[in-house]
Amino acid sequence: MIISVIGCGYLGAVHAASMASLGHDVIGIDVDARRVEKLARGEAPFFEPGLDELLTATIATGRLRFSHDMADIAAAQVHFLAVGTPQSESGAADLRYVDAAVAAAIPYLGPGTLLVGKSTVPVGTADRLAALVAPTGAALAWNPEFLREGHAIQDTLSPDRIVYGVADGDGTTVGILDAVYADALARGVSRLVTDLRTAELVKVAANAFLATKISFINAMAEIAEKVDADVVALADAIGRDDRIGRRFLNAGVGFGGGCLPKDIRGFIARSEEVGAGEATAFLREVDRINLRRRDRIVELLAEELGELQGARIAVLGIAFKPESDDVRDSPAIDVIGRLHAAGADVVATDPRAIEAARRAHPELVVEYAATAREAMSDAGAVVLLTEWTEFRELDPVEERAVVRTPLMIDGRNVLDRERWIAAGWRVRALGRGSGAASR
């Protein structure tokens, strides 16, 4: 099948390469000529494990090409729309890229072709776009994407489920999408067919649920801190209940990235627009709990050091999560800014995200170090904010020798506390009481 993917950011680049790896003929379109050039050379414009290799391999087969000329989609039967929907100032999703892409694609759509939305959009968008597309004779479907950064290829090729939102009784569209996803369907991946609005809602509801789960455990962490209880043991215990499940119950500095924060804010805004604001009012609290964890890191340091003015603080981790160089809404960026505002000298390191942080946050006053060892040299405290394996595996005995003060704030609850304490460190973590056990 000949497929176009319009918008080659995180979602689109991965989708294009994955579809080509399944044997489809794919043209990826992006308005950013530099991004197109990079992709055409087999280089992803961001770090995603395995993606450069997949791009190179599929480009070599001749089944994957990139272009910034929308006219190149003309030969495709299925067009995936994968442009970004960033947060606007009001919190609502900004649909300007979606609207521009659809307007640019319309001249190349015709009877028998299918426009498939993958971008995360406010419910009701697909109905509006379907009306715009209808005069061309093309059909419109919504097929939300659930990929996690760091696992994007696997999540695209072997998702937990595939959702098709289609117009009432549109069996033809279902048939076309079944052909696109034949490989996954043959392997037993479940596929759900819904109306357009439900498919749009599935995506935001899933992200709202995940964000709520994380903020729930972080709220428990706040309580645990007050009463000297242990949120990790609590998560292990409640997570044993199959109805709850242990995944996404990792308490720490909270969620960031290009999806969860913006999607819950967009969902709140859209719910208010459709007269159901009360239904998602709790998501404001989810957002607040999440942001409070960032304050708490700074508070913990102030509690321990007394004075942050002039303190040299090493920050381990800048990306919003490991195996990613994405710093969008990263808790670490926020914490670094707050520490600087409190007068601290911050030295930060990350295996992948330093360049992205420099580019996206030129305003940040921070020294970047190439390694954890360099960042920790002479530090008065160390804060772990992204749980990269290389930080989890640091040797507390060796690191003890380089810091000025062996104080570790474990912002992700991933270090073996006993081991660090045995090596002479004082360890504080989120949701693990006053730290009495670590004295």
Binders of ligand UDX in range 214-233 (CB under 6 A): 214
Looking at 79-87, 142-150, 162-170, 354-362, which segment touches ligand UDX (CB under 6 A)?
Answer: 142-150
Tokens of residue 117, six digits: 């939305």
Candidates 66-74, 242-250, 391-399, 401-409: pick the segment binding ligand UDX (CB under 6 A): 242-250
Q: Which 51-90 residues touch ligand UDX, going by CB under 6 A?
A: none
428 dihedral zone (left: phi>0; alpha: psi -120 to 50; beta): beta
**Cβ-based nearer residue to ligand UDX, 145 or 334:** 145
CB of 418 to ligand UDX, least distance (A): 22
The verdict on 163 binding ligand UDX (CB under 6 A) reads no
First to last CA, the chain: 64
Cβ of residue 364: shortest distance to ligand UDX, in angstroms? 18
With contacts defined by CB under 6 A, name the span among 18-26, 43-51, 246-254, 280-288 that binds ligand UDX: 246-254
9 contributes a contact to ligand UDX by CB under 6 A: no
| b/e burial code for range 238-252 (CB count within 10 A of at least 16 → b) | bbeeeeeeeebbbbb
Residue 8 among the catalytic residues:
no
Told to check if 121 binds ligand UDX by CB under 6 A, we report: no
Say whether residue 282 binds ligand UDX (CB under 6 A): no
201 belongs to the binding site for ligand UDX (CB under 6 A):
no
Task: Tell me whether residue 252 or residue 396 sits nearer to ligand UDX (CB atom).
Answer: 252
The 3-state secondary structure of the chain reads CEEEEECCCHHHHHHHHHHHHCCCEEEEECCCHHHHHHHHCCCCCCCCCCHHHHHHHHHHHCCEEEECCHHHHCCCCEEEECCCCCECCCCCECCHHHHHHHHHHHHHCCCCCEEEECCCCCCCHHHHHHHHHHHHCCEEEECCCCCCCCCHHHHHHCCCEEEEEECCCCHHHHHHHHHHCHHHHHCCCEEEEECHHHHHHHHHHHHHHHHHHHHHHHHHHHHHHHHCCCHHHHHHHHHCCCCCCCCCCCCCCCCCCCCHHHHHHHHHHHHHHCCCHHHHHHHHHHHHHHHHHHHHHHHHHHHHHCCCCCCEEEEECCCCCCCCCCCCCCHHHHHHHHHHHCCCEEEEECCCCHHHHHHHCCCCCCEECCCHHHHHCCCCEEEECCCCHHHHCCCHHHHHCCCCCCEEEECCCCCCHHHHHHCCCEEEECCCCCCHHHC
In whole angstroms, the minimum distance from the beta carbon of 435 to ligand UDX comes to 21
Q: Which of 321, 338, 352, 417 binds ligand UDX (CB under 6 A)?
A: 321
User: x/- contact string, 249-268, with ligand UDX (CB under 6 A)?
Assistant: xx-x-xxxx-xx--------
Contact window for ligand UDX (CB under 6 A) among 17-25, 122-130, 158-166, 206-214: 206-214
Torsion over CA of 211, 314, 303 and 336, rounded to 10 degrees?
A: -50
Pick the closer one to ligand UDX by CB: 120 or 173. Answer: 120
Per CB under 6 A, 358 contacts ligand UDX: no
How near is the Cβ of 6 to ligand UDX at its closest, in Å? 18
Nearer to ligand UDX, 63 or 412 (CB): 412
Nearer to ligand UDX, 48 or 345 (CB): 48
Interacting residue with ligand UDX among 105, 138, 210, 332 (CB under 6 A): 210
Which residue among 30, 48, 149, 334 contacts ligand UDX (CB under 6 A)? 149
Q: Which of 14, 184, 259, 286 is catalytic?
A: 259
CB of 258 to ligand UDX, least distance (A): 6
| Listed residue (91, 104, 28) closest to 64, CA to CA | 28
Cβ pair 431, 231 in contact under 8 A: yes
- Binding ligand UDX (rule: CB under 6 A), the pick from 146, 205, 302, 361 is 146
- Yes or no: say if 403 and 414 are a contact pair by the CB < 8 Å rule: no
**Cβ at position 10, least distance to ligand UDX in Å:** 9
Select the residue interacting with ligand UDX from 216, 320, 368, 425 (CB under 6 A): 320
Q: How far is the CB of 248 from ligand UDX (least distance, A)?
A: 4
Nearer to ligand UDX, 58 or 207 (CB): 207
Nearer to ligand UDX, 122 or 252 (CB): 252
Rounded CA separation 193/163 (Å): 6
Q: Min. distance of Cβ 384 from ligand UDX in angstroms?
A: 12
Beta strand 161-166 with 139-142: parallel, antiparallel or unpaired? antiparallel
| Smallest distance from ligand UDX to CB 184, Å | 16
List residues with catalytic annotation: 259
> Contact residues for ligand UDX (CB under 6 A)?
145-149, 207, 210, 214, 248-250, 252, 254-257, 259-260, 320-321
